[in-house]
Amino acid sequence: MTKRYFVPLLVVTAAMFAYAPILIANAPYESTMGLVQKIFYFHVPSWFAMFTAVFICGIQSAIYLFRGRAASDRVAAAAGELAVVFGLLGLVTGPLWGRKSWGVWWQWDARLTIALLLELTFIAYLLVRKYGGPGSEKLAAAVGIFGMANVPFLYMSVNIWRTIHPPTSVVPTLPAGMPGPFWFSVAAFMLLLTILMTLRVRLEQQRAALDELYLALEE
């Protein structure tokens, strides 16, 4: 993640986020949910970004645990934190949308429930990193790996669990005019994830450099 690409990427991301509201405002209204459905343009991309961060964290955690690459631990830490951030975005925009379309704030919708469980798992990841004491990087790595491995099981069990309850109302296959702004928003969020990862990994790198300096001084 070199500094060379950072500023251009930042400019592009900012531009995309600035342009997105125009695209979203001009997108056709969803026939049954009206205006509030437009939350979908940043609710779903948040979920995509969280999902990606979860997988990055899990894979880098595995590399760190088995190969001992400190760089992987740093990326995993950054990804774990970003999973929680993007998860929070999704978990707040979801109920705001649901309040209008379902009439209630929370309805144990399968996707939101899965998001909530993953969020809790990765908050636990952050807690272990912070309060686990010495050697907590490895413990956190285990949480990251297990959290990632759990995703298919969460999907299966929560989805089956939810079919027993009344079905949820969600946007079906996208009608014409919506895929454009949607994929634009997805791209914008992915770029945002990249930018934030770069920044956050840099923080970890500087922390590691500081630790090394302290260690060198003691000798």
Partner 1 sequence: MGQFLNVALLVLRKDVAIEVKSREILYTTLFFAVSCVLVFAFALVKEGRVVEDASAGILWIAVAFAGTLALGRTFERERYGETLRALLLAPAPRAAIYVGKLLGIVLLLAVAEVALVPLVALLFGAAFFARPLLLAGLLASGTIGFAAVGTLFAAMLVRSRSRDVMLPILLYPITVPVIIAGVRGTVAIAQAAPDEAVAAMWIGLLAAFDVVFVTLALWTFEPLMTE
Partner 2 sequence: MLRRACLVVFSVVGSIAALAAQQPPGGFVPIEQLPPSEQLPSAPLLVAAYVFVWLALMVYVWSVWRRLGRVEAELRALEQKTRK
- The contacts of residue 149 (CB under 8 Å, 6+ apart) are 58
CB of 80 to partner 2, least distance (A): 14
Q: Which of residues 52-71 bind partner 2 (CB under 8 A)?
A: 52, 55-56, 59
Angle in degrees, CA 155, 143, 197, rounded to 5: 85
**Would you call 68 helix, strand, or coil by DSSP?**
coil
Near partner 2 by CB under 8 A, which window of 96-104, 116-124, 126-134, 136-144?
96-104
Place of tokens 């600035």: 18
Residue 129 binds to partner 2 (criterion: CB under 8 A): no
CB of 119 to partner 1, least distance (A): 9
Choice between 40 and 51, CB closer to partner 1: 51
> Which residue among 12, 14, 23, 89 contacts partner 2 (CB under 8 A)?
89
Residue 124 binds to partner 2 (criterion: CB under 8 A): no
Could you say which of partner 2, partner 1, none residue 194 binds, taking C-beta under 5 to 8 angstroms by partner kind?
partner 2
Residues forming contacts to partner 1 in the complex (CB under 8 A) are 65-66, 117-118, 120-121, 124, 127-128, 131-133, 135-136, 138-139, 142-143, 145-147, 149-150, 153-154, 156-158, 160-161, 164
Could you say which of partner 1, partner 2, none residue 32 binds, taking C-beta under 5 to 8 angstroms by partner kind?
partner 2
Which residue from 170, 10, 47 is spatially nearest to 97, judged by alpha carbons?
Answer: 170
Query: Residue 106, by phi and psi: left (phi above 0), alpha (psi -120 to 50) or beta?
Result: beta
**Would you call 30 helix, strand, or coil by DSSP?**
strand
Amino acid at 195: I
Alpha carbon of 71 to those of 60, 74, 119, 123, 202: distances in Å? 9, 5, 24, 21, 11
Could you say which of partner 2, partner 1, none residue 138 binds, taking C-beta under 5 to 8 angstroms by partner kind?
partner 1
CB of 142 to partner 2, least distance (A): 20
CB of 152 to partner 1, least distance (A): 9
What are the helix and strand counts (H, E) for the chain?
Answer: 6, 0
